Amino acid sequence: MTAWATGALLLLGAIFALLAAVGIVRMPDVFTRLHASTKSATLGAGLSVLAVAVHFGRLEVAFLALLVVAFLFLTAPVASHMIGRAAYMAGARLWEGTVLDELRGHYDLRTHELAGRPEEAPAAESDGEAGRSGSGPDPGPAIAGDASRER
């Protein structure tokens, strides 16, 4: 019985990992690749570690396995968010089929802080083709002063 459960969990985890790898090869964009790889690979690794817990069936092994799963599930969103933010700041190209970039014009690219306010979004949007580089001169210095005081 436990052998069946172990095999099923292992195979499911391996299939999810393969799904993540296919996604990272096939997707057209950094952000879609991130979307494809992070979630399903984390699920695959979590399922394989759960298979270890089921296979041994002892309390201390199960505790360690749950610790590994909790650590994976806590750190994967943080890491993927940081990669995505860094790629956006570095000016990663979006896929040409992208219909909406809600962050466009909201970041002060010099201090990497959120500079635009939501009610200013249409103004920044219609401001012209400068787009992400022209994030409004007014909030820039104040935010920069705050950032330099924080660091």
The contact set with other proteins (CB under 8 A) reads 6-7, 10-11, 13-15, 17-18, 20-22, 24-25, 30, 33-34, 37-38, 41-42, 44-45, 48-49, 51-52, 55-56, 58, 60-61, 64-65, 67-68, 71-72, 75-76, 78-80, 82-83, 85-87, 89-90, 92, 112
Between 36 and 124, name the residue whose CB sits nearer to other proteins.
36
Query: Smallest distance, Å, CB 103 to other proteins?
Result: 14
CB-based contact 135:116 (threshold 8 Å) = yes
Give the Å distances, CA to CA, from 82 to 71, 75, 135: 17, 11, 21
Where residue 57 falls (left for φ over 0; alpha for ψ -120 to 50; beta otherwise) is left
Write down the least CB distance from residue 47 to other proteins, Å. 8
By C-beta, is 25 or 114 nearer to other proteins? 25
Tokens representing 70 are: 């909790």
**Over the range 34-62, which residues count as b (16 or more CB within 10 Å of their CB) and which as e?**
bbbbbbbbbbbbbbbbbbbbbbeeeeeee
C-beta of 51: minimal distance to other proteins in Å? 6
